[in-house]
Each structure stands twice: as structure tokens, then as C-alpha cells.
Amino acid sequence: MKYSAERCGYCGACVSVCQKNAIELRETGISFNLKCENCNACASVCPLGALTFENH
Ligand code: SF4
Ligand code: SF4
């Protein structure tokens, strides 16, 4: 998952939708942990296009 901190509005929608608890909302943005399974759910709910799927 590619994250653009410039676009993020800290709404928390991605955190709520993630079933793996792989996203943490912090004062300076969000961070992903190793539980992420690249399901793309967070990117699909982000209202600001701050998350884009990227297969590593
Ligand atoms: S891609 Fe899926 S598992 Fe990974 S952070 Fe987003 S919602 Fe969670
Ligand atoms: S859903 Fe998008 S705008 Fe909202 S906190 Fe997550 S990355 Fe930021």
C-alpha cells in the first residue's frame, strides 16, 4: 500500500475498515504494520485518494 501523507485528512476511515488492525492513526498520519495483507479495503474507502494499491 502506498500512502500519501500530503493527501491524508486523518479521517480514520481506513483504520475502521481494516479487518487486520494493520493501520494506526497518529498525529502525523497513519502507519501500517506487518499485519497488512494487501486486501485493498483501506484504499477503496479513502475519500481523499491518499492510499493506492501497490504490489511489492
Ligand atoms: S490493505 Fe487491507 S489489510 Fe492492509 S491495511 Fe489496508 S485494509 Fe488493512
Ligand atoms: S482514509 Fe485516507 S484520508 Fe482518511 S485517514 Fe486513511 S489515508 Fe487518511
At residue 22, the pLDDT reads: 97
**How do residues 3-31 score in pLDDT, each as one tens digit?**
999 999 999 999 999 999 999 999 889 99
Please indicate whether residue 18, judged by its CB atom, sits closer than 6 Å to ligand 1: yes
Name all domains of the chain by residue range, CATH numbers in brackets: 2-52 (3.30.70.20)
Please indicate whether residue 1, judged by its CB atom, sits closer than 6 Å to ligand 1: yes
Q: Ligand 2 atom closest to Cα of 23?
A: 6
Distance between Cα 28 and ligand 2 center (Å):
12
Which pTM was predicted? 0.92
pLDDT of 56 strictly over 70: no
Please indicate whether residue 5, judged by its CB atom, sits closer than 6 Å to ligand 2: no
> What are the CA-CA distances from residue 9 to residues 13, 20, 45, 48 (Å)?
10, 22, 13, 7
Cβ–Cβ under 8 Å, residues 15 and 22:
no
The CA distance from 50 to 6, in Å, is: 8
